[in-house]
Amino acid sequence: MKERESADSSLKSQSILTQVMDKGRFQKLATTLSLPAGQSIELRCKGSNVTWNYPSYLDTFKDSRLSIKQLDRYSQLILANSTAADTGEYSCWLQLCNGNKCRKDETKTGSTYIFFTDKEELFVPTPSYFEIVYLNPDKPAVIPCRVTTPSAKVTLHREFPAEEIETDGTDIIYDVKKGFVYMHPTSDHKGIVYCKAESQGAPQISIKYHLLYVEVPKGPPSTTIAASPNRAEVGDSVQVICTVLGEPDVDVNFRWQYPGQEAESPVIVQNFWRLINRGSGHTTRISESVLVVEDFEARDAGNYICIAQNLQGETTVATKVGLN
């Protein structure tokens, strides 16, 4: 009974998404679908206020092959002249709106993963020839070498020393919709890897992935501040530098409060970041915000406050610049 119930509930959630076939026929979609690249596809989602999700690649290039129309009783998604790069998840859901506030109706959703098969392109093409993958000890890491043909045999290889990396199904698994997943990344996994796929023909090689190991405590930014010089004459140039050490893929936003702010003293603020290798394969991101007062005046003396913010919170640091 339980199996039947879960099957029924999954069908219920799938029922709002259908594929339009020839001669006006409709087909409910399974969790995956394989179509030859080059074919066009039309999907429909029941409802008067529908939102779609599809591979971000199609948005990045403002692709004219994709069109979405909301009609009275359903929304229509048409993808013309499909390519291997369009492989991915296509989903839709009904929006429940009250005024201008909307939320997803979890009971009215539909999703399918479409493989656009192409024997010339066994791997889903990417815009770059090289990608960085961060290995964080706290979470699984994905080597995103996805295939366009679900039946392809895919293996993972280290560039140096040249060897195939065994996927044991526990620590390293292969997910046809994601790629290879390192469940418990360690610094031993760092290095350059690539994937190889075979399907009725010559094997094909993916782009290369550079695996960098990260070990930085999670939380609000770890922030320091320093002024140079910390005592200045009128007319001097003063630099105040706010520095954050953090995870390579975590963005930091900076805000400043300074003595001449209300008087609109002219200052220059520049933000930048870079990756550094701290040895033992550990990679850290240094984010810096530099505030420059080029022509120091008496009103510029006082406390310079830097507020650094990431998704985990914010940290405030301050330093004083005196007038000689």
Could you read off the pLDDT of 95-140 as tens digits, one per residue?
Answer: 888 888 888 888 888 999 999 999 899 999 987 888 888 888 888 9
Q: How far apart are CA 103 and CA 93, in angstroms?
A: 10
Element (H or E) spanning 3, and its range? Answer: helix 2-14
Element (H or E) spanning 34, and its range? Answer: strand 32-36
Q: What is the pLDDT of residue 12?
A: 45
- Average pLDDT over every residue of 256-277: 89
Fold assignment, 130-213: Immunoglobulin-like (2.60.40)
Q: pLDDT tens for residues 47-99?
A: 988 999 998 888 766 778 999 999 999 999 999 999 999 999 999 999 888 88
Q: pLDDT tens for residues 126-182?
A: 878 888 888 888 889 999 999 999 999 999 999 888 899 998 888 999 999 999 999
Q: What is the pLDDT of residue 278?
A: 62
Is 282 exposed, middle or buried (CB count within 10 Å of its CB: 0-12, 13-18, 19+)? middle
Q: Where in the chain is the domain with CATH 2.60.40.10?
A: 17-117, 130-213, 222-323
Fold assignment, 17-117: Immunoglobulin-like (2.60.40)
Q: What is the pLDDT of residue 100?
A: 80
Residue 279 has pLDDT above 60, yes or no: no
Residue 8 has pLDDT above 80, yes or no: no
Q: Are strands 253-257 and 302-310 parallel, antiparallel or unpaired?
A: antiparallel
Averaged pLDDT of the chain: 87
Q: What is the dihedral of CA 63, 66, 70, 71, to 10 degrees?
A: 140
- Average pLDDT over every residue of 192-213: 91
Strand partners, 174: 180
3-class state of residue 298 by DSSP: helix
Q: What is the pLDDT of residue 14?
A: 44
Fold assignment, 222-323: Immunoglobulin-like (2.60.40)
**pLDDT-derived band of residue 16, with 50, 70 and 90 as boundaries?**
confident
Q: What is the pLDDT of residue 184?
A: 92
